[in-house]
Amino acid sequence: MPCLRKCSKRTISEESVFQAEIRRVAHENGRLIGMEGDADLLFLLKGGELQKVRSSSWKKNRFFKLEEDCKTLWHESHRTLKSNQTFSIDDIESVRQGRQSEGLQKYTEGCLEDRCFSIIFKTHRKNLDLMANSNEEAKQWVTGLQKVINNMDNLNRHQKTEHWIFNCMRKADKNDDNKMTLKELKHFLRQINIEVDDTYAEMLFVKCDKSESGTLEGHEIKQFYNLLTHREEVDVIYAKYTQTDGKMSSEDLMNFLLTEQQESVLLDDAVKLIHKYELDDAAKQRNQMTKDGFLMYLHQAEGMILNPAHKQVYQDMSQPLNHYFISSSHNTYLMADQLKGPSSTEAYIRSLMKSCRCVELDCWDGPNGEPVIYHGYTLTSKVLFKDVIKAIKEYAFKTSEYPVILSLENHCKLEQQKLMAQHMISILGSALVTQPLGDRMPTRFPSPEELKGRFLVKGKRLNKLDAFFSPNSAVEEDSVSEEDEAAESSKENGEKGKSKKSKIKLAKELSDIVIYCKSVHFSGFDHARDNQAFYEMSSFKESKAMNLAENSATAYIHHNVDKLSRIYPAGSRTDSSNYNPVPMWDAGCQIVALNFQTPSKEMDLNQGLFLPNGRSGYILKPEYLRDQATKFDPIALPRGEWLQHKILHVMVISAQQLPKLNKDKSKSIVDPLVRIEIYGVPADVATKETHHIDNNGFNPTWNENFKFEVHVPQLALVRFVVEDYDSTSQNDRIGQYTLPFSSMQSGYRHIPLLTKNGNVIPSAGLFVHIMILDSQ
């Protein structure tokens, strides 16, 4: 087996001791992640050969194994400068069994299906396409990896911290003697993102070195760990509410929940929390919560800032479809920018797995009679239309069971249009809505509940929907005006003779499967009110939509009470950047399409809006955005039910285990600050931030208070941002978390932190106190 780390030549006895230590460490990590003695874990730790597939001619055998930290996958590489390569379990988005990637479908035979699997990464790193020697081995690799990933995800914050610190200590132990010298302790502190002066480090060391041996070992390291992870701010809270024998009784806990957490609870609820999270059996028997149990509770869903009741689908899903904000993607096929970035089915999968419920398909005539998807008039690569539809069918309802809208930008000639319709009908089958629900002409949209597991096609239609109920209303191919976005795209890319009134021949077969989302040109609110049916919807470029939202907000809201509106980024955004979606939501626009492939503040807001309601991709609009008689105006803010003036007090207390931004520089310690941002109607937009803490990303403490006024809480989003302060250049973002104001819990709350791609940063978080008061 290949050597896993660079090391000097060891004697046979030294190697035996080394391997025994590796087994001990692997066993301890297996225990820490709840997989002690697990057969699948032992299989991964032993490792084995897999064939790495990159092309039809590049298929190489490489050795893969899980390292003893039970978190790092190592594989050999024959590249000159990268003989040993690793990646973290935390970097894995999913493990897919079978030929479930573009690479494996293209470069392997169908008969090898059961031997193949892919590792998909959270970042834009390329998929790892692999083939095992047998079906059984492939299954065990997939099962084992999924089990480790799930166990890591399900660890509580305390367990993640313990696992992380244990392995950081190992890395600091340069000579592998299971002891820690003062020099190694200083190295360890830098590794976990703390820069301390020598005096403090030595004080810590002496305090723990009870044996006065000049090294820390065994229980001394355990004491050092306890000192390091001690949460003084939690001690203060615990002591304040502990009235009995130094431990928190069920009555004390109930008092804390009522007073601080602003929860409507009974004594029985407090008892249930004790029995759920208390670690000490003796305390549990006496219905008491120790400090450790209290900290455990604060790290669980009940102690987080997001209301646990909102993690499930909790809203009424039986309203008409246009009464919801719908998570929507623009240029969904792109993995990067819209000039030369790759198009991929993987981009659709990633968006759908993030609960995106409206995806865009830019369809063009392709070779061999098969339509393709790409960004027209650019150097972006092409992907087959039928492969995209297959991927959408496979992944549409894995995260959310509510309907997916296929937004077609059709540039194809008649023959390939007919093939598009054929592919959608044959691949999507009965899940595709091909006629109105019910036996009579509808007067409103069906609901997300009625459309569970179904696909709707958005595009041009040759006739009215009531043709389904009129036997003599058949139509043949005819010309229709091109989509506004398509016309704009061709104009911006300099295609001669194109204008917004360009015509395209439309096939009856494609027209017939457009049911509830017929695309029509917008000619003003009065025209739409008098001439458009409820199922006829318009698309608006961001600048047009912003102008309407700012200058005709109430009229726009009335329009969106009856009809759907789709907003899309300007074609001039060649880097696939995003616009601010909040003003569009304030005006009741449902399909506010963003570039999901581009990490940005705007995508953070989108992820925040759609975080609650079971991450279903649908959020019910407030009642005043669903009422045809509403007088709501987000700019003028007249009196009405929408005005529920609140005072938000936020105390930023501390942070825990913030990641280093430059892991290659051992001395690069972060100087964190926290910024709180409010988004919503213009009157509510605000930003405030703490001072920065020098050289401490492990356990910085601020204890700073901030006050915000929020006039329309139902439309407000709260964003917490942690940055690394830099006096000479722009601050680097460490992590952020965004959620709706109405989904925020009061009291002492932990806040997880997300990467720029929206993934949770393991162990890292903020600790805050939230108080929401009615304005007098």
Q: Does domain 646-774 have CATH number 2.60.40.150?
A: yes
Averaged confidence pLDDT in the chain: 89
776: buried, middle or exposed (CB in 10 Å: 19+, 13-18, 0-12)?
exposed
Give tens-digit pLDDT for 203-250. Answer: 888 888 888 888 888 788 778 878 888 899 999 999 999 987 789 999
Known binder of ligand: residue 699? no
Q: Are strands 72-79 and 82-88 parallel, antiparallel or unpaired?
A: antiparallel
Whether residue 411 contacts residue 363, with contact meaning beta carbons closer than 8 Å, is answered with yes
Residue 724 Cα to chain centre, angstroms = 22
Amino acid 190: pLDDT: 80
Q: Which residue has the tokens 């313990």?
A: 162
Domain boundaries, the chain: 12-154, 158-229, 232-303, 321-625, 646-774
- Mean pLDDT, to the nearest integer, of 693-705? 93
- Going by the DSSP 8-state scheme, the letter that residue 482 receives in this structure is P
pLDDT at 484 exceeding the cut of 70: no
Q: Half-sphere exposure of residue 22, counting CA atoms within 13 Å on the CB side?
A: 15
**Residue 468 — very low, low, confident or very high, per pLDDT cuts 50/70/90?**
confident
Known binder of ligand: residue 337? no
72 forms beta bridges with: 88
Whether residue 29 contacts residue 69, with contact meaning beta carbons closer than 8 Å, is answered with yes
Give tens-digit pLDDT for 662-697. Answer: 755 545 789 999 999 999 999 999 999 999 999 899
Amino acid 188: pLDDT: 83
Amino acid 503: pLDDT: 83
As a whole number of angstroms, the distance between CA 643 and CA 683 comes to 11
**Residue 31 — very low, low, confident or very high, per pLDDT cuts 50/70/90?**
confident
Give tens-digit pLDDT for 428-449. Answer: 999 999 999 988 999 999 999 9
Residues 6+ apart with CB under 8 A from 745: 261, 262, 304, 305, 306, 307, 770
**Residue 554 — very low, low, confident or very high, per pLDDT cuts 50/70/90?**
very high
Known binder of ligand: residue 226? no
Amino acid identity of 372? V
| Secondary structure (3-state) at 528 | helix
Known binder of ligand: residue 539? yes
Known binder of ligand: residue 671? yes
Known binder of ligand: residue 602? no
- Mean pLDDT, to the nearest integer, of 61-82? 83
- Mean pLDDT, to the nearest integer, of 568-597? 93
Residue 447 Cα to chain centre, angstroms = 25
Sign for the CA dihedral angle at 271, 275, 281, 285 comes to positive
pLDDT at 4 exceeding the cut of 70: no
- Mean pLDDT, to the nearest integer, of 177-203? 80
Known binder of ligand: residue 160? no
Buried b / exposed e along 710-737 (16+ C-beta atoms within 10 A) = bbbbbbbbbbbbbbbbeeeeebebbbbb
Known binder of ligand: residue 725? yes
Percentage of the residues of the chain whose pLDDT score is greater than 70: 93
Known binder of ligand: residue 484? no
Cα angle 136, 137, 139 (rounded to 5 degrees) comes to 65
Amino acid 304: pLDDT: 96
| CATH number of the 12-154 domain | 2.30.29.30
Query: Same fold for the domain at 158-229 and the one at 232-303?
Result: yes
Known binder of ligand: residue 731? no
**Residue 182 — very low, low, confident or very high, per pLDDT cuts 50/70/90?**
confident
| Secondary structure (3-state) at 618 | strand
Helix axes 219-229, 157-172, angle to 10 degrees: 130
**Residue 497 — very low, low, confident or very high, per pLDDT cuts 50/70/90?**
very low
Amino acid 473: pLDDT: 65
Q: Which residue has the tokens 């000097």?
A: 8
| Secondary structure (3-state) at 580 | coil
As a whole number of angstroms, the distance between CA 499 and CA 481 comes to 10
Higher pLDDT among residues 171 and 272, named by residue:
272
Amino acid 486: pLDDT: 57
Amino acid 32: pLDDT: 84
Dihedral angle of Cα 347, 350, 351, 352, to the nearest 10 degrees: 120
724 forms beta bridges with: 672, 732
Percentage of the residues of the chain whose pLDDT score is greater than 90: 66
- Mean pLDDT, to the nearest integer, of 261-278? 95
Q: Which residues are catalytic?
A: 330, 375
Amino acid 489: pLDDT: 53
Dihedral angle of Cα 321, 323, 324, 326, to the nearest 10 degrees: 60
- Mean pLDDT, to the nearest integer, of 256-279? 95
Q: Half-sphere exposure of residue 157, counting CA atoms within 13 Å on the CB side?
A: 29
Is residue 651 left, alpha or beta, with left meaning phi > 0 and alpha meaning psi from -120 to 50?
beta
Known binder of ligand: residue 566? yes
| Secondary structure (3-state) at 541 | strand
pLDDT at 631 exceeding the cut of 90: yes
CATH topology assigned to domain 158-229: Recoverin; domain 1 (1.10.238)
Q: Does domain 232-303 have CATH number 1.10.238.10?
A: yes
Q: Does domain 321-625 have CATH number 3.90.1150.10?
A: no
DSSP codes of every residue in 376-407: TTSS---EEHHHHHHHHHHHTTSS--S-EEEE
Give tens-digit pLDDT for 607-616. Answer: 999 999 999 9
50 forms beta bridges with: 62
Whether residue 243 contacts residue 249, with contact meaning beta carbons closer than 8 Å, is answered with yes
If one counts every other C-beta atom within 10 angstroms of the C-beta of residue 261, the result is 16
Known binder of ligand: residue 726? yes
pLDDT at 14 exceeding the cut of 70: no
Among 22, 10, 77, smallest CA distance to 46 is for 22
| Secondary structure (3-state) at 766 | strand
Known binder of ligand: residue 331? yes
